[in-house]
Amino acid sequence: MSSSSPSAVLFDLDGTLIDTADDLSACLNILLAEEGLETLPHGVIRKQVSNGANAMIRLGFGQLQDERAQQLRQRLLVHYENNIAHHSRWFDGLEQFTVELKQAGIPWGIVTNKPRLYTDLLLNAMEIDRHVDVVVCPDDLNISKPDPRPLLHACEQVSVDALQAVYVGDHIRDIQAGRAAGMKTIAAAYGYIEEGDDINLWQADYIIQQGTELKSLLKL
């Protein structure tokens, strides 16, 4: 990292800032049980969480006709809406790190592919909404990562040059989006990394094994 601190720090949400996997996997297992199927180990579901509801339905039910898949997806999302933050928690060190960013006068935000409805419910339930400086969801611009525009929009919202910002994420699309936006990128190896996915090939500027590494890396 350069000798000075970044002008803004942006995070992916699920698997990077907040560990939501237990809530999401519990909802998939509720749905599987309703359908008379065996539930799956949380560790298996965890690796698919970053890929969204459609990927979780494929994991639990295999390839289905579109209409059936969408019906199950909608039921999964209703379960999630009703159980949004029972087990979700900050990844180690990151709640305190966002406090330290505030104290240093550095804006921080979230750029996620999670729909606005569930993002807002989660941030409200965890009382994060009152502290975060900017949140960008795919619904806001009708575009998702790896397109860099959500990241550029977040920087505009906090009046920061993207070239002076940092993006932290746990999926290759996060790193692709950050690089395309001209940001420094940090890959979160503690996140929801799929089996066989080599984080070293993502071309992130840095890789961290835990959130507690960010303070020293970003020179706060």
State the pLDDT at residue 219: 85
Nearest Cα to Cα of residue 72 among 87, 58, 52, 90 = 58
**Residue 25's CATH number:** 1.10.150
In a domain, 92, yes or no: yes
- Characterise 191 by phi-psi region: left (phi > 0), alpha (psi -120 to 50), beta (else): beta
Place of tokens 């809530």: 23
Total structural domains within the chain: 2
Q: Let me know: does 7 contact 164? Beta carbons within 8 Å.
A: yes
**Residue 104's CATH number:** 3.40.50.1000
Q: For the chain, give the longest Cα–Cα distance.
A: 57
In a domain, 1, yes or no: no
- Characterise 162 by phi-psi region: left (phi > 0), alpha (psi -120 to 50), beta (else): alpha
Residues 65 and 118 in one domain: no
Residues 98 and 74 in one domain: no
Active site residues: 12, 14
In a domain, 201, yes or no: yes
Residues 138 and 168 in one domain: yes
- Distance between CA atoms of residues 154 and 176, nearest Å: 16
Q: What is the DSSP letter of 200?
A: G
Residues 12 and 110 in one domain: yes
- Distance between CA atoms of residues 94 and 99, nearest Å: 9
* pLDDT tens-digit map of 70-95: 999 999 999 999 999 999 999 999 99
Residues 117 and 58 in one domain: no
Residues 118 and 16 in one domain: yes
- Average pLDDT, rounded, for the chain: 95
The pTM is what? 0.93
Residues 71 and 57 in one domain: yes
One-letter amino acid at 151 equals L
Whether the per-residue pLDDT at 1 is higher than 70: the answer is no
The domain in which residue 156 lies consists of 8-20+88-217
